[in-house]
A and B are shown apart, each in its own frame.
Chain A
Amino acid sequence: MTEVRSKLDWGAFAPLRLKARSVADGVYAGSHKSPRKGSGVEFGGHRAYVPGDDLRYIDRHALMRHGELLIREFETETDRDLWLFVDATKSMSYAGPGAPGPKYAFAALLAAALAYIAVRTGDRVGLDFLGGKGARSIPPRSGRDAFERIALALEDVEPDGDLSGDKSLIEQALGQAQRGARRGAIQVVLTDLLDLPAGSLQALTTLTTRGRLLQVIQVLSPAERDFPFEGAVQLRSLEGKSIVETDGALSRQNYLAALAAAQRNAEQQLVPRGGRLLKCATTDAPEELVRRILSSHVEPTA
């Protein structure tokens, strides 16, 4: 079987499995702390009782000594679901000048590396796609076999589809995760956040309910990050019907300003709801990105 199953040119990111393992080995292997405080063995502190708290965790000693209802909290190591959402729309097939490969390949590499790490720590990993030709969902599973399934599913997909005109397609894609993700699950969305219809970010923020964590990784090509075009060019979007005729040098500053504004807007919508936005380009080191994604799960949100 060939490593690359789709028609996509994976560029420097092939073969996916080996690259993903290499990235994962470069990060670290082991457990990760859960930010959720609950039952466990390591004392994590007190907090005031609120109706609905489990009465088993009321600190009786404190009640008798101070006359206040305090709840004892514990930090615990626990297996947590990892949900991966990979944007496989047409725009993710773009590589652009100076890029080692298409954006989808880079996103798939990050997803596979994350899956490999999760599987090795005993967590369950699920996969779903936004768009994509040949895309199929992988429900959360654990075990060594889960990584193989996810890698296979990532390789089978050819970036295709246009979500720019229909918000319902986004909601439909996220629906399964919304329903099936356990409390405290970590959800990582790998997308370019381009060509998404209005209200897509709101749909993403629904993933943050029930104590679930949301990481949105914006994957851009170097050309999308720097806009290196010179002279007269006609730019055609891969989703939607946008065709723009412009002068590269003259438009660069305006484009970069518009991109920064779009990123600020995404952060403003995600952060208040407990989400995070991490920006990267396909030329960035994947080990560092994976490390940042993982470390952000144990750090308090900004």
Chain B
Amino acid sequence: MSFITVFALGLSLLVLAPTLAHLLRRGRPNEQPFPAAALVPVTRSTARERSRLEDRGLLLLRALMILCLALLGAGPLVRCSRVALGRSGGASVAIAIVVDDSASMRTRLSNGKTRFQRAVEGAHELLGSAREGDAVALVLAGKPARLSLAAATDLQAASRAVDELRPSDRATDLTVAIALANAALSSLPHKDKRVILLSDLAGDLPPEPSPGVWTALPELASKSDDCGVLRAEQSGPRVTAVVACSSEVAARARTLKLVSKDASAKAEARLVVQRGEQTLTLEAKAGASGTVELTGADQNPDDDRADIAPESRGLSLAVHVDVAGEAVATGGAPLLEQALHSLSYGIPVRPLAELPREATELNDVAALFIDDPPGLTPETRGVIDGWVEGGAVAALFLGARAHDTQLGASLEPFMRGAVDWEPLPAGTDVDVGSFNWLGAEADSLKQLAPKGRARLDSAILPGAEVVGRWSDGKVLVTRQERGRGLLFSVGLPVSVEVSDLPLRPAFLALLDHIVGEALRRRGPRASEAGTEWWFPASGNLQVTGSAGPLVLREADGQRVVTPETSGRYTINLNGKSEARFITLPADEVLSVPKQDLPNTWRATKGGAAPQVDASPELSWLLLGLLALEVGARFWRLVRERRAQGAIQPAPP
């Protein structure tokens, strides 16, 4: 702090001057000669009181003006809690502001604001200190991290983008967010590039810290005491709820209670005083709906309640293979099952001894794989057709048995009628280029040399798309949209006796693609905030959460909805209603803000401190005070003039 700063701040002592003047003046009211004083009644106390009140207003105005002048003299070296960009050389800077919009940012700070509100304020403060020529990018660190605003020099657009930010119940994805921020700045010509992290740091940090990251608001990473209800599910006559507490203090003297429209359904359970997750069971009627709530208070009241999800089994993958024909020589499950297990989705794989004949058999099935069937019966065709249209995916692998379709059976809705099986013509191979959508694994399809192939060309249904071909142009794989679902047809069976396709990486890539599509279309019953729900482009669709209908957006020819907050959502598609639930990630309650940050993150790049030039605000304040003073004096003058005017002689 320089001598000038100290001197300017020392001037604030002059605030004592009007105070002393006031004290001296208070003892002597305005004395005037008046011959008839003997006739005037004494009202001393009232007069003194009024004088004191009027003078105090003026005294305050003058004292504030002196303080403003002192601070103006000391500026811009006055430190305050605002964050601002320090400039070491005065050159333009490129900044990527990473705003954490995860669920833990809903935690209240000591001033009553949430961490997210403070982060948004900080972003605005940073934008306020940016100058023309500075480039700003905006990245959101809620999982999955995304780029909200690409780097641009339009500061007003950046300010509007910050205004539109809303808190969410997403998980934290700082690593990807910082990578995105660095990528957003990488192509800019600015020499001074900084990633400014406005986060509570309650998440995984990059293993190798970037040197240009600045944690501008360390107060966001303060320790908090919070308990949150992660999820609640109806399980028979009970409601099972999972509660997470960040500390023992947060769990002390708190209970979880059932809140239902049914007044008779009253149940509560006391929390165990411990840090971590705990499962609580509440007795309730079967089919009870409502919410569970935590009593008591903590620093994040937004996660103290959760909607009760109805009982549901998890999704599964169904596989129908001819066990006799597809059994592996070494024993164990068929190749198709083993391949699906190897994808490690964590979704159970359910073998079907027979193809489904009733719709209920495919409940909770996300994807169905059928290997070399001898045709599909009308019942099976009807079940699969309706099931796929509801948002599922089915894949049909055709082998030699497809040629021997039984009477009354066909391959619809995959293919029209039946298909022929033929030996592969010599010199024919897979057209690898047509399988580029499988990624790098497509190269593994070279020199496949199967013993035969199903001739799909003549059986392709209208609307089906050829997505894989043989080198002679014949069709190998088709893809067909059906309602919300998808149908795949492959012209080879999953059999090592026909080809080594099941052993090729491209086969796993194909299965991964099919399962991914299935999960995306079916959508899990319960998922985390930020999960995208995909729906077909056509049809009447409305997704409604607790805050009203969600905004639909178009992507890849489909409609996508991204729920941001936890709770119950109702999906209404073509008159069919479905409930889905967004649960709270446990890490958002349990993760402790990181304190052992890299040293390079503590200070701004270039060593500039977060100092703020408050001169404009102080100047406006000073002008306002001056106007008040002038107004008060004018008002007094008018009052005195009026008093004098009352005794002016009348005009002749």
Contact = CB atoms under 8 A, between A and B. Distances in A.
A114 B646 CA distance: 30
A235 B34 contact: yes
Given A240-B38, A259-B39, A232 B30 contact: yes
Contact of B646 (A100, A226, A243, A285): A226
Contact of A246 (B41, B639, B648, B650): B41
Contact of A237 (B30, B36, B639): B36
Contacts of B649: 98, 100, 222, 283-284
B31 A232 contact: no
Interface size class of B (residues with CB under 8 A): 20 to 34
B43 interface: yes
A185 B650 CA distance: 35
A237 B40 CA distance: 10
Contacts of A262: 39
A251 B41 contact: yes
Given A222-B647, A233-B47, A94 B41 contact: no
B652 A285 contact: yes
A223 B43 contact: no
Given A98-B647, A234-B32, A242 B44 contact: no
Nearest to B639: A230
A225 B40 contact: no
A159 to B, nearest CB: 11
B36 A194 contact: yes
Nearest to A99: B647
B400 to A, nearest CB: 113
A236 B33 contact: yes
Interface string B630-651: 0000000001100110111110
B51 A235 contact: no
B29 interface: yes
Contacts of A239: 35
Interface in A44-89: none
A97 B644 contact: yes
Interface string A93-129: 0101110100000000000000000000000000000
A232 B40 contact: no
A255 B41 contact: yes
B37 interface: yes
A151 B46 CA distance: 47
Contacts of A223: 34, 647
Contacts of A91: 35
Contacts of B639: 230
Contacts of B32: 229, 233-236
A182 B163 CA distance: 101
Contacts of A258: 39-41
Contact of B29 (A94, A230, A245): A245
A195 interface: yes
A98 B650 CA distance: 11
Contact of A194 (B33, B35, B43, B44): B35
B547 interface: no
A250 B46 contact: yes
Contacts of B51: 231-232
Interface in A206-232: 222-232
Contacts of B46: 247, 250
A192 B29 CA distance: 27
Contact of A228 (B50, B54, B647): B647
A87 B41 CA distance: 26
A238 interface: yes
A246 B40 contact: yes
A226 B47 contact: no
Interface string A257-292: 011001000000000000000000001110000000
B32 to A, nearest CB: 6
Interface in B603-652: 639-640, 643-644, 646-650, 652
B55 to A, nearest CB: 10
Contact of B35 (A226, A233, A238, A284): A238
A1 interface: no
A244 interface: yes
A290 to B, nearest CB: 16
B640 A230 contact: yes
A254 interface: yes
Given A236-B37, A237-B36, A98 B648 contact: yes
A242 B37 contact: yes
Contacts of B48: 232, 245
Contacts of A192: 35
Contacts of B652: 285
B42 interface: yes
B28 interface: yes
Nearest to A192: B35
Contacts of B640: 230
A47 B470 CA distance: 160
B42 A245 contact: yes
A235 B43 CA distance: 12
A98 B39 contact: no
Contacts of A251: 40-41, 43
A195 B38 contact: yes
A268 B288 CA distance: 99
A251 to B, nearest CB: 5
B644 A98 contact: yes
Q: Which of B29, B39, B44, B650 has the most CB of A within 10 A?
A: B39
B380 to A, nearest CB: 100
Contacts of B50: 231-232, 247
Contacts of B650: 283
Given A244-B42, A245-B44, A234 B35 contact: no
A258 B38 CA distance: 10
A237 B38 contact: yes
B650 to A, nearest CB: 8
Contacts of B643: 97, 228-230, 248
A236 B34 contact: yes
Contacts of B44: 245-246
Contacts of B31: 233-236, 243
A237 to B, nearest CB: 4
10 contacts: A94-B35, A98-B649, A228-B646, A230-B643, A240-B38, A244-B40, A247-B46, A258-B40, A258-B41, A283-B648
State the 6 A-B residue pairs at the shortest beta-carbon distance, nearest first.
Answer: A283-B649, A232-B47, A91-B35, A237-B37, A222-B647, A247-B47
Given A245-B47, A285-B652, 8 more contacts: A94-B34, A97-B644, A194-B38, A224-B35, A227-B40, A231-B47, A232-B29, A237-B35
